[in-house]
Structure 1
Amino acid sequence: MPLIAPRHPRQTLLFLALGVALGPGVAPANAEQATASAGPAAETTPHDHQPVDLHAVEVRSSPLPSTVDNLTRPVAVLTGEALDKVKASSIGETLGKVAGVQSSYFGPGVGRPIVRGFDGARVQVVSDGLGTGDVSTVSVDHAVSVEPFLADQIEVLKGPATLLYGSGAIGGAVNVIDGRIPEAATAEPLQGRAELRGGTVNDEKTGMVRVDGTSADGHLVFHFDGLHRETGDYDIPGYAESATLRAQEAAEHEEHGEHEEEGEEAYGTLPNSAVRTDAGAFGLSWVGDRGFIGASYSMFHTRYGVPGHSHEHGEEDHDHDPIAGDDDDHEEHEEEGPVRIDMDQRRSELRAGLDDAGVFSTLRLKAAHTEYTHTEYEGSEVGTVFNNTGDEARLEGVFKPWNGWNNAVGVQWGNRDFEAIGDEAFVPPSQSTDAGVFWIADRQFGPVKLELGARHDQNEIDVDNAVTAAPDRDFDTNSLSASMRWSITDDFSLSFGLDRAQRAPTAEELYSSGLHVATGSVEIGQPNLDVETANRAELGMHWHAGPVRLSASIYHVGFDDFIYQADTGIDDGGPVRVWTQDDAEFNGAEAEVNWTIADNSSGSWDLRVFGDVVRGELSGSGSRDIDVAVPHGDHDHDYTVELQRGGYLPRMAPSRLGGEINWARGGWRASLGAVRYADQDHVAANESSTPGYTLVDAHLAWHVDTSNGNAWEVFVDGSNLLDEEARVHTSFLKELAPLPGRGVAFGVRAFF
C-alpha cells in the first residue's frame, strides 16, 4: 500500500468546495469588519486577516475573562495575520518562533510543542479546553490530531497549567481554538476563507476551506471546514545520516574488514518522509439570547513515513549472552520495508453555554467522544496497531462578582481505553480514569492584580493482568497556584508566580516493557513510580514605552521525584532505556523585544528580537543502582544498572536567539528573519552533543480588498534560505533525519 495513495472522490469534493468558496456568487462579508475579536471563536470571523495587537486578545484558556496583558501568568497567543504567517503542518512547528517554545521532531508528520524544556506527558494539547483524544504522549512518533491550518487562535500557557487541565499539563498547555461549534451568530449570513498553497522542498499541495453561516432568524449557526495536504519526500542539504554516524559506521565496517556499498546512503532527499493529511468537520448550534447549545463531528486522517526506520527480522538466538557479546552468535536479519504510520481519528463533541444562571454569570459544558487508531506498517505488513477510545466532560461555572472577587469553579472527568496490538506492542492494554475539581479566583487591589487557584485530581490506571503481572495503580494529586501582576506605572509592570503542581505517572512510564521501534530502543517502565511534584517560582517584567515593548522572565522549577527516561548504556536488541525518577531542577529565562522603528511614507517597519534558554539537571549527587529486566521471549535478561544522581537531563532544548524585521505598506507586507540554535553540549550520560545551526526565512504577501467586500491575498514564503544542515537535539532521529533544506512555499488566500 503506497503512502500517498490517491483518493479521487475526496479530493474532488474538497476542490469543488474550494471553487465554490472562491467564486464570486457567495454573499460577501465586509472586509473592513475583519477584526481579531477577543470573544468566542464564532464571533472571531474566519476572514480575520488584519494586523492584531496580540497583547489585547482575550485568552480563552481561563474561565475568568482576561487579555494577554492582564493575565498574571505567562501566556502567548497567535491569531489573525500573525497566525496565518506561521501556520505549518504540525502544531509544534507552527509555534516554533514563540519565545520559550520549540518543537519536537520525528519527521515532518510529527511535531509536538516543547514548552520551556518540557514535552510529552508534561505538555497537554487541548481543543478549546478538551483533550485532543490522541495518544501523542505515548510515543514520539505519534502525531497530534490537531490541524493548525483550521485554527482560529492558538494559546500557549507557559508554566504549570494543572489548575485548568490536570496533571498532564504540569509543564504547560497549548489550547487550539477552531470554532467548530459556534457560540454566537456570525457577522454576515455567510462568510469564510479558503487557501491553496504549494511548496518546492517537498512538492507540497495543500487546500483548505472554511465556511460559517447563520440562519435568517439568527438562531441556527453552522460551521464547515475541510483540508487536504500531500507532500513528497523532502529535500535535504546533504546526507540523511549525520557525519558522526557515518564516521562511526565506517569505523565499524573497517573493524570487521567489510566495505560499504556505494550509493546506499541517502543524499539530497530524505527517503520515507512523505505526508498525506485529510481533515474536516461540521458543526451546528442553536444560539439564543442567554446561551447556546451545539454539536460537531470531525475527522483527522494522516499517513506519514518515519525517516531512517526499517524493521529487521530473523531467527533470534535466545541463548545469546548480551554481556559477553559472543561473536559466534550473530543473528541473521532480513530487512523489511520502511516504517509508515496510518492514523485515523473520529470525534464527536457537544458544547453548551448559559449566561446569567442564578449565582453564576456563565455556565459552560463541554463533552467529547473520540475514537482513535494508529497503525504502524512495516513495508506492506501491519506491525503494531494502537487503539484509543476516550471520553471527556468538563463543566465550568463563573460566579457573579462578590466583594471584588471573580471566582470560577469546575469539574472535569475523563476515561481512556488504550490497547496496543502486535509483536512489538511495548505497552500492555490499560484503562485510565481521571477526575478533577478546581477553583480559580482573582481580584484587583489598586495597581496589583492577584490570582489564586487550587485543584485536586484522582487518577486510576487499570492494566490488563493477562498481559502483565504489574499491579494497577491509583494516585491523588494536588496543585496550588498564586500569582500577581503589579502595574507600577501605566507602562511598566512586574509579575510574580508561585506554583506547586503534581503529576501522576502515565501507563507508558509504569508498564513499558520491550522494543519501541519508533525510538529504536528497548523501553522499560517501573510500576512503582510515585507522583512527581514541581515547585515553580517565576519573576517577569513588561515595559511598554512609545514604540518599544519589552517582556522578560526568569524561572526556577524544582522537582521532587522527577520521572525521566535514563539511557543505561546497555545494548540488548537496541539501547536499553529505563523510566526512573529522581530530584531535578529546571532553570530558564526568555525575553522578547518588539520595536516599531518607523511608520511613514516608506511604510511601517517593525523589529522583533527574542531569545530563550533552559537547563534541566538532576539535582542529586553520587549514584544509585536499579534492577532492569529486558524481556526475551519466555525469559528476561537481568541487569543491575548504576545511574548517576547528577548531571544534565537527556534531549533538552538548546538555547536560541532570533529576530525578524517586518515591513508593511498599503496592501504589501514582507519580513526577513533568522533564528540561531546554539550547540547543545549540555548532554546526559550516553547522549551525544548536537551542533548549532541558523535558520533564515522570508515572507512576502500582497493583500487586496475587492469592491464587493471580498479579499484576496497572494503570498510567497521562503524557509531555510541558507540551505543549512539542521539537526534537532530533542529528536530521537537527529542522527538520521535533518530538517528540510531550502524551500519556497507559495499560494493564495481568499476571505469572503
Structure 2
Amino acid sequence: MRHHVFAAAMLSTAPLAYAADDVTLQTIKVRADRLSAIDSVVVVENGQTQNRTLGGMLEHVSGVQSSAFGPNAGAPVIRSLSGSRVQILEDGQSILGMNALSGDINIPFDPLFARSVTVNKSSDSVRFGGNAIGGSVDVDSGIISRKMEGKQKDVELVLRKGFNDADAQGLRANFNDGKHFSTNLQLSFQKIGHYDIPGNSKAGVCNSQLFPANGGVNTFLADSCQKEARIQQIYNKASQPFIDQFMTENPDWADGDFSFYTNHPTSVWQRKTYVNPANPAYVPGTPAMTQKKINRDVTPDYHGTLGNSYASNAHIAAGTTYFFDQGYVAVSLDSKESEYGVPGFSMENKSFGANYDAGLPVGVVIKQDKYALEAQLSSPVAYLESVQLRMSRLNNTSGERLGAAKANDYQFDTNQAELLLAHRRAGLLSGLLGLSHQARDISGSGPQRYLPDASTVSRALFLKESLDLDWATFDAGFRHEKVAHEIRKSGFKTSRNAGNSTLGDKDFSLNSYSLGASAPLGQLFGVKLRYSSSERAPDVNELYASNAHYSIMTQEEGNQNLQAERAKNTELTALFANRGFKLSATGYVMKYDNYLYLGHSGAQMANRLPLKYWKQTDTTVKGFEVDASQVLQLGSYGKLNLSAFADLVKNKADNPDKLRAHNDGEYLPNMPTNRYGANVSWENKGWKARLSGTRYDKQKYLGKSVSEEVPLDGYTMVNFQVSRALQVRNSPFAGIEVFFSGTNLLDDDARPHNSPLKYIAPLPGRGFQLGLSARL
C-alpha cells in the first residue's frame, strides 16, 4: 500500500500530466521507482510537439522556465538557477560547454527524436558534481538501446510543415537481430527563415520610460532596449532681452550661442562701450536652458516580423548495442550543427551619434561531435548487483558572427569517464559507489575574445545509499570532488580594467552531501523532506573573463580570488492522492554562502557597455510549487485528464553592502516571474487532444543595473494540439499519425521577464504546425 500511495501521489509533481500509451503528445511522467531515493524528479517524454529548444521543452514543468535568449536559444532555468549551476547531460554525460557561459549559445539537442528528458529540480551535486548545485537535466537521446526492442525493424518518417513555426523532416530507424545486436540511426533537420510577432519587436517601455519623471535617463533600460538615450541642454535664445553687440562684431570670441545674448543694454569691452540692441525673440520669464531628449534606435524596431530570427539545425547519429547474458556494450556517434540569428541585437553597441544603419546583426554557429561508449554488467562478482561504465569524447565549437565576419570561436574538447558500482541489497540497504573523471580544454580565437585558453580537470568519488523500511524510506549521499583550472599560453590579453593583474592556475576541493526521508501519513497522505549541502567551484568565466562580452552586453571581468559557492537546501513536499485526484505542494529554501553574481561597478566603458565584476554575497533562494491533477474515465467517450500548477521563486541577497544595494539591488535582474496554468487532455480510440494555458505575471521583485529594472506586462500562453492515429489498408506503413498544433493562440506580446532580450525580442506570435509520422 505504501508504494502504491506514493506512486500515485507523486504523479502530481508533474504539471500538464496525462497518461498516454505512446508518445503522440508530450507526456510528463514521474518515475515512481526512483522516488524513494530522489526527490523532485520529473521525466518529460518527447512527442509530436515542436520543441525549439531544450528550455522550451521543459518550461511546462513547475519550477522550470526557459532562458528564452530569443526563439532559438533557450536553456532550462530551475528555480531561478541556470548556466553553470544546472548540469546539462545527454545519456548521463555532461554536455555543458559555451552554453553555460554565454546565454546566446543554445544547447545542442534533437527536438524530434530525443526519447525523454529527466529533470531533477533539487540540488544534484552528489550525483553530478558542483555544476548540478541547482539541479540537473539529462536527455535520453534515443541513440543507444538499453534493452532489446520488440520488433526487428522499426522505421519512422517524420514530416512537419510550420506556419510561423519551423519546418522539420526526420528519419529514425532501428534494426536488430532480436538476440545480440541492435542499431539505431537518426537523421533530422529543422529550418525557419524568420518568426512573426504580434506588434513591434521593442517593448513600449523602450519609449515611454527611458526618461523617468524624477529626471535623467534610465541607462539600464536604454542599453537593454538598444537605444541611444540622452538629454541635451540647449540654450534658449529667447531668455535674455539684448543681443551682445561686441560678440556680434567679434564672433571668434564666442563660446556658444549664449555668448551672443545679455541681460544688459550696454557692454564695455577694452574701455569701449557697446550699445546692445534689443533681442526681438525675447520672451520674458523663459528659462535660460531647455532640454532636448534624444531617443534613437541603435538596432531596428521591427513591426510584425522579428528581424534576424532565422534558424537551421541538422543532426545525424548512429548507435549500436551488443547484448549478452549479463549486460550490454554500446557505442555511438552523433553530430549536430546549428546556425541561427540573435534577434533585435547587435554586438556593435555603437557610441553616441554613430551611423546605426551600419550596425551588423549577430549570428551563432555551433558544431558538436560526440563519441560515446556505455557498458553494463549484471552480477559480475558476489557483492555487486551491477557495474556500469560511461565514456565519451565531446568536441564542441561555438562561435558568434558579426554579419559575415567572425567575432569569436571557442572550442570545447571534453573527455569524460564514469564508473558506477551498485552493491547487492544488504537487508534493507541498497546503493552505489561512483568514480568520475572529466578533462576539458577551451581554446578561443577571433577579435572579440573574452576568455583565455584554459584546461579544467575534475575528479570525484561519490556514494549513495537508501534504507527502505516498512514505515519510511531514507537516503543519503556524499561526494568529494577536486577541480583544477590551468591557464594555457595564448594571445589573450586582459583589459585595463581587469581585476586580475596576471592570470594563474586555481584549484578547489569540494564536499557535498544530501539526506532525504519520505513517509506515508495514512492511506491518502504522504510527506517528503530533503536536506543537502552542496559546493560549486567558480568556472573559467567567473575567474578569468575580461573584455567586452557583447552577447550579455557587458564588459565582463573575472576575479581569481573567488571562493567556492556553498548551498544549504531544505525542501519539504506534502502529497495527497484519492480516487484519481492527486495533489503535491513543495516549499524550498536554498541558503547560499558566497553566491556568485556579476556586480555593476557603476561605470560604463567604450560603446556604453556597463563594467561588471564577478562578486560574491550570501543569498537566499526560496519558493514553492503546487501541482494538481484529476483523471476522469468517460467510458465509451475515452479518458479526460485535468491538471493545474502554480510556482513562485525569489532570489534575494541576504545582507547586501551599500554598493550592491545601490548598483544591483537586493534581487538580481532577469529573475523568473510567478506562473499558474491549467491543462485539459483527452484521448479516445486513436484521437488525442490537449489544450493548455499558462499565465506569466508581471514581475514584482525587481533588480537593478544602477537604474532599476522596468517590469513588463504579464501575458498568457495558450497552446493546443490534436492528433489522430490511422490504419491504412494495403499500405507498407504499419501506422500513420497526423497532428495539428497551435502555439500562442492569443497572439500575445509575450516577453519572459527572465529573458535578457525581453525588451527587444518577444516570443513568436501565433503559430501552427501540421505534421505526419509514418512507421514501417
Q: What is the SS of the residue equivalent to 2:304?
A: strand
Change (3 A) 1:364 1:643: farther
Give the Cα separation in 2 of the matches to 1:338 and 1:621: 37
* Structure 2 residue identity aligned to 1:612: D
Contact map agreement 1:156 1:174 (CA 8 A) in 2: yes
Q: Please, which runs of 5 or more residues in structure 1 have no aligned partner?
A: 1-45, 59-65, 317-326, 626-641
- Aligned counterpart, 1:497: 530
- Aligned counterpart, 2:696: 677
Give the Cα separation in 2 of the matches to 1:749 and 1:270: 30
Q: What is the SS of the residue equivalent to 2:131?
A: helix
Counting only pairs closer than 5 Å after superposition, residues 79-90 of structure 1 correspond to structure 2 as: 79=45, 83-84=46-47, 86-90=49-53
Change (3 A) 1:492 1:336: same
- Aligned counterpart, 2:302: 266
Give the Cα separation in 2 of the matches to 1:531 and 1:277: 37
Contact map agreement 2:31 2:42 (CA 8 A) in 1: no
Change (3 A) 1:55 1:742: closer
Counting only pairs closer than 5 Å after superposition, residues 44-83 of structure 1 correspond to structure 2 as: 48-49=22-23, 55=29, 57=31, 66-68=33-35, 70-79=36-45, 83=46
For residues 272-294 of structure 1, give each alpha carbon's deviation from its aligned partner in whole angstroms, at most 9, with x where no partner exists: 00100001111112110111112
- Deviation, 1:250, is 8.6
Change (3 A) 1:260 1:502: closer
Contact map agreement 1:312 1:334 (CA 8 A) in 2: no
Give the Cα separation in 1 of the matches to 2:355 and 2:733: 68
- Aligned counterpart, 2:726: 704
TM-score normalised by L of structure 2: 0.82
Q: What is the SS of the residue equivalent to 2:695?
A: strand
- Deviation, 1:334, is 7.7
- Aligned counterpart, 2:413: 389
- Aligned counterpart, 2:94: 131
Counting only pairs closer than 5 Å after superposition, residues 242-641 of structure 1 correspond to structure 2 as: 242-247=203-208, 248=210, 249=227, 252=230, 265-312=301-348, 335-358=358-381, 359-464=383-488, 467=492, 469-573=502-606, 574-623=609-658
Greater C-alpha radius of gyration:
2
Q: Please, which runs of 5 or more residues in structure 2 have no aligned partner?
A: 1-19, 211-226, 233-290, 495-501
Give the Cα separation in 1 of the matches to 2:348 and 2:665: 36
Give the Cα separation in 1 of the matches to 2:310 and 2:641: 36
* Structure 1 residue identity aligned to 2:362: V
The worse-fitting range, judged by mean Cα deviation, of 331-340 and 524-533 is 331-340
Give the Cα separation in 2 of the matches to 1:661 and 1:482: 36
Give the Cα separation in 2 of the matches to 1:148 and 1:347: 17
Give the Cα separation in 2 of the matches to 1:259 and 1:171: 40
Change (3 A) 1:334 1:578: farther
* Structure 1 residue identity aligned to 2:184: H
- Deviation, 1:252, is 4.3
Residues paired across the two proteins, number: 665
* Structure 2 residue identity aligned to 1:284: T
Contact map agreement 1:349 1:366 (CA 8 A) in 2: yes
TM-score normalised by L of structure 1: 0.84
Give the Cα separation in 2 of the matches to 1:119 and 1:332: 36
Q: What is the SS of the residue equivalent to 1:137?
A: helix
Change (3 A) 1:487 1:111: same
- Aligned counterpart, 1:155: 118
- Aligned counterpart, 2:132: 169
What is the root-mean-square deviation of aligned Cα atoms in Å?
Answer: 2.6
- Deviation, 1:484, is 1.1
- Deviation, 1:196, is 1.1
- Deviation, 1:489, is 3.0
Q: What is the SS of the residue equivalent to 1:513?
A: coil
* Structure 2 residue identity aligned to 1:182: S
Give the Cα separation in 2 of the matches to 1:404 and 1:235: 58
Q: What is the SS of the residue equivalent to 1:510?
A: helix
Give the Cα separation in 2 of the matches to 1:645 and 1:515: 19
* Structure 2 residue identity aligned to 1:114: V
Give the Cα separation in 1 of the matches to 2:703 and 2:196: 31
Select the structure with the greater relative contact order (CA < 8 A; seq sep ≥ 6): 2
- Aligned counterpart, 2:188: 227
Q: What is the SS of the residue equivalent to 1:724?
A: coil
Give the Cα separation in 1 of the matches to 2:671 and 2:295: 36
- Deviation, 1:621, is 4.5
Change (3 A) 1:140 1:258: closer
Contact map agreement 2:62 2:647 (CA 8 A) in 1: yes
Give the Cα separation in 2 of the matches to 1:294 and 1:263: 49
Give the Cα separation in 1 of the matches to 2:735 and 2:349: 56
For residues 329-354 of structure 1, give each alpha carbon's deviation from its aligned partner in whole angstroms, at most 9, with x where no partner exists: x7777834311111101111111111
The worse-fitting range, judged by mean Cα deviation, of 488-497 and 277-286 is 488-497
- Deviation, 1:658, is 0.4
Change (3 A) 1:398 1:337: same
Q: What is the SS of the residue equivalent to 1:567?
A: strand
Give the Cα separation in 1 of the matches to 2:190 and 2:199: 26
- Aligned counterpart, 1:3: none
